[in-house]
Amino acid sequence: EDKVVQSPLSLVVHEGDTVTLNCSYEVTNFRSLLWYKQEKKAPTFLFMLTSSGIEKKSGRLSSILDKKELFSILNITATQTGDSAVYLCAVNKRSDNAGNMLTFGGGTRLMVKP
């Protein structure tokens, strides 16, 4: 059975701190790994990773994938209160009948205090 596990479940930090969120996976026919940020209802896309060792970066956020050890990390530097959200990791697997099925991890709830 496909599995995506995120840790920690929740995290409380202060503004300016750096955080690292973890995502490990076990899926057959891996295609890509995606990170989303969910503040209210709709998850918003952050990154898609397909290759090992290549860091994706957007402002204070960065992410990297290790396909050998089957995990990814999402780093947020100089955190701000606006970073408070649930961060979701999802794995996209190759499928004959549905080209883009995502299996989500349980999420990490991040709270950034002023």
Supply the minimum distance, in Å, between the C-beta of residue 113 and other proteins.
21
Among the listed residues 109, 92, 77, 86, the one whose alpha carbon sits nearest the alpha carbon of residue 25: 92
Candidates 21, 25, 33, 43; binder of other proteins (CB under 8 A) is 43
Phi/psi of residue 36, nearest 5 degrees: -130, 155
Candidates 21, 23, 72, 105; binder of other proteins (CB under 8 A) is 105
By the 8 A CB rule, do 76 and 63 touch?
A: no
Per CB under 8 A, 82 contacts other proteins: no
Supply the minimum distance, in Å, between the C-beta of residue 95 and other proteins.
9
By the 8 A CB rule, do 102 and 94 touch?
A: no
Per CB under 8 A, 21 contacts other proteins: no
Per CB under 8 A, 28 contacts other proteins: no
Stretch that binds other proteins, among 11-19, 20-28, 58-66, 98-106 (CB under 8 A): 98-106
d(C-alpha 104, C-alpha 80), whole Å: 25
Q: Which is nearer to other proteins, 45 or 60 (CB)?
A: 45
d(C-alpha 107, C-alpha 113), whole Å: 19
Phi/psi of residue 99, nearest 5 degrees: -65, -15
Q: Which residues bind other proteins (CB under 8 A)?
A: 34, 36, 41-45, 48, 88, 90, 92, 97-107
